[in-house]
Amino acid sequence: MAKITVLKLDPESRDLCFDADGIMDQLEDGEAIAQNIRNNLNTWKGEFELDTSHGTAWERIVGQHSSGIEDEADDVLRASIFQEPYVREIESLTPLVEGRKIGAEFYGTLYDGSTVRVEAKSE
């Protein structure tokens, strides 16, 4: 797998992170991929105007009746996670939908054989 480097974002505010000298922090490889997955899960599909296919189709599961919602949530979350091209396999995936709170816990394998764990929540 090629070396992947992204600018580090604060997981809560999604603002850029800076070190003590005012230089933008970066993440590499597995940490970068985990941040990309978290960003996919925290972005509603259509929210990012430059690529409206980016994000998670939360509208398919939020506000729906609880019967049968697990299968739909699983499909929606898998589609979002696999937007990250370095994810090879999803080992475990747990949708988190409680009233107005949504999110997911994900554990998977990347194409280089390393593992990644992501928890994404929004309110």
Q: Residue 51 CB: number of other CB atoms within 10 A?
A: 10
Asked which of 35-44, 96-105, 107-116 is least confident by mean pLDDT, the reply is: 96-105
- Per-residue pLDDT of 79-99, as tens digits, reads 999 999 999 999 999 887 776
Q: Considering the entire predicted model, what is its pTM? A: 0.84
Higher pLDDT, 107 or 68: 107
In this predicted model, what pLDDT tens digit does every residue of 9-45 receive, in sequence order? 998 888 999 999 999 999 999 899 999 999 998 889 9
Match domain 5-122 to its CATH number in 3.40.50.300, 3.40.50.2300, 3.80.30.20, 3.10.450.40: 3.10.450.40
Domain boundaries, the chain: 5-122
**% of the chain at pLDDT higher than 90:** 53
Report the helix count and the strand count for the chain, using DSSP H and E.
2, 5
Displacement of CA 18 from its chain's centroid (Å) = 22
